[in-house]
Chain A
Amino acid sequence: MNASKSGRKSQFKLFFRRFCRNKLAVFGLIFIVFIILVALFAPFIAPYGYDDQNVSIRLTKPNSEHWFGTDDLGRDVFSRMIYGARVSLSVGISTTAISMFTALIIGMISGYYGGRTDNIIMRIVDVFLAIPSILLSIAIAATLGGGIVSMLIALSMGAIPGVSRLIRAQVMAECHKEYVEAAKVTRASDFRIMFKYIFPNILSVFIVTFTMGVAGGILNASMLSFIGLGAQPPIPEWGAMLSEGRAYIRDYPYLVTYPGIMISITVFAINMFGDGLRDAFDPKLKGR
């Protein structure tokens, strides 16, 4: 009993130590935790509501009362950015969750059964892959109309084909290992083999892809909002804020600077975190 507990613990410790060696990844992790906390406690942190308008002070430059200034309707940019973290993060995470879950099922079936099943599924995936995922998302969002929900659907659909391929390749590689044959001999059902044997063994790839996917999701959500197909006013999505501030960029550049910086740093932090995770999961890759 004790032997294994310490074994598992030391494995995690080793993993954690490898992760900590990468300073940028640690920065990423800290920043992500920070952003999540900000998003969770937005109402307590933000000095103003995200839709509190005060036209008499519209377009004031950053000052002690409004740290990041106010926008064209007199709303506090700082507060809107804090609330925006909620929207951006949840959109990023939920699109990735939806797309990864769907892709897991598609990739698993395709990779595990192989042959004709694989051929049919992959040709369909190829059709979607032929369309750039951004264009696909835009097309879907445009068809469904604006709003958060249609943005979620559009972004997840855009990400599914690529991730399905990745998971299929991973599953195929695992299927050739002897423990899968051994599982067949122990009379395990296909479903059991897929989720009790193969899935835990591709989990590290899954987690890393998930993390990177969140960064991509946030970026794409901002993009859709920027062209007016995502979050609709007055929802304070970072991309939407960029879009609203665009009209005043000559005279009031801070309207786009702050949300822009926020998007960049968040995406950068998540990517660095994902990189660090990948290296920590597979130490053989690093430094070769």
Chain B
Amino acid sequence: MSVILKVENLKKYFDVQGGKLHAVDGISFSINEGETFGIVGESGCGKSTLGRTIIHLYQPTSGKIIFENKDITFISKKECRELLRKMQFIFQDPYSSLNPRMTVIDIIMEPLLIDGMKRKDARQRASELMEMVGLSKMFETSYPHELDGGRRQRIGIARALALEPKFIICDEPVSALDVSIQAQILNLMLELQEKLKLTYIFITHDLSVVKHISDRVMVMYLGQTVELAETQELFSNPVHPYTKALLSAVPSIDIDEQQKREILHGEIASPINPQPGCRFAARCKYSTSRCKTDDPQLVEIKPGHFVSCYNV
């Protein structure tokens, strides 16, 4: 397996009133070809920003993004257009990510037409794509608002697949959908991954989803990596106090199983001009004085299992 994407110490700061908002603050990881890399974390932890920075919807502040052995951190508009041929994005909200004034087939044809394909060929290809994502032909000339969330998300997937990318960043693709439809979409995505040899970054806050779909999982907290491991390892053997609390919040369907919830107290620290020290220290019951002054680094405690905490 070869590494397809490598991110090194990536930072994305936003200028806001009162300073710099550290949305992504020194994230490093690498993704192998063909795997699904899950990113979890609570709202506002910077997971979406990370995805958007990788695909250059936002300009990175510093760090390095290496895609297929090429440094793509700071690239021109033209190079970015080339990049988007190989790297695509599936949006969170299928209700707002589709232009309400375009028909389904037009939406899917857009990337093809922009690529210079003839209208007739593009139409043909778009029909194929619709079939591939399980959309009936009768919806070709419907408008997005006439369809339900699941079908809309299928449109989003077909659009992302139009140019045959290898690498797709999925930004919470199922969190706006009903649970019953979530499973359909997830299975479709797994199917497509197998068929088209895709690599996914899968951003979500839903732990059961990430457990189902990911090979490896990275847990984020306030713009930083907290823990990174293979899915099995992370779920059976979480080390970081935050990961433990997060996993204990997953509801279980087994009523006999005693739930030992770890309730976190305190507020999330502000990502604007953050203080030095572990970002989680204020809410962590194990925190020591060192946690409040020094930044913990990501250490490998087992092969492939990385944690950033002083108390392990």
The interface of chain A, by Cβ under 8 A from chain B, is: 1, 3-5, 7-8, 177-179, 181-189, 192, 197, 200-201, 203
Contact = CB atoms under 8 A, between A and B. Distances in A.
Given A4-B103, A185-B57, A179 B98 contact: yes
A187 B114 contact: yes
A188 to B, nearest CB: 6
A185 B84 contact: yes
B200 interface: no
Contact of A7 (B100, B111, B114, B143): B143
A203 B101 CA distance: 10
Given A183-B99, A187-B111, A4 B89 contact: no
A185 B140 contact: no
A192 B102 CA distance: 13
Given A178-B97, A192-B114, A201-B99, A184 B142 contact: no
B142 A7 contact: yes
A179 to B, nearest CB: 5
Contacts of A178: 91-93, 96-97
A4 B97 contact: no
10 contacts: A3-B138, A4-B142, A179-B99, A179-B100, A182-B156, A185-B57, A185-B160, A186-B114, A187-B84, A200-B99
B306 to A, nearest CB: 30
A187 B115 contact: yes
B81 interface: yes
B254 interface: no
Contacts of A192: 114
Q: How large is the interface on B (under 10, 10 to 19, 20 to 34, 35 or more residues)?
A: 20 to 34
Interface string B75-105: 0000001001100110111001111110100
Nearest to A2: B138
Contacts of A189: 114
A179 B96 contact: yes
A5 to B, nearest CB: 7
B151 interface: no
Nearest to A193: B99
Contact of A177 (B55, B96, B146): B96
B154 interface: no
B141 A1 contact: yes
B25 to A, nearest CB: 23
B99 A197 contact: yes
A4 B91 contact: no
Given A4-B146, A182-B89, A183-B99, 11 more contacts: A4-B103, A4-B141, A7-B142, A179-B98, A179-B100, A184-B57, A185-B89, A186-B111, A187-B84, A201-B99, A201-B101
A197 B98 CA distance: 10
Contacts of B89: 182, 185
A200 B91 CA distance: 21
A240 B159 CA distance: 58
B110 interface: yes
A3 B110 CA distance: 22
Given A4-B142, A4-B143, A5-B141, A181 B110 contact: no
Contacts of B143: 4, 7-8
B139 interface: yes
A183 B110 contact: yes
B229 to A, nearest CB: 30
Nearest to B92: A178
A1 B139 CA distance: 8
Nearest to A11: B143
A3 B84 contact: no
A1 B105 CA distance: 11
A178 B48 CA distance: 13
Contacts of A200: 99, 101
Nearest to B85: A187
Contacts of B97: 178-179, 181-182
A117 to B, nearest CB: 16
Contacts of B100: 179, 201
Contact of A188 (B57, B91, B110): B110
Interface in B98-149: 98-101, 103, 110-111, 114-115, 138-143, 146
A203 to B, nearest CB: 8
Which 4 A-B pairs have CB atoms at the shortest separation, nearest pair first?
A4-B141, A200-B101, A178-B97, A186-B111
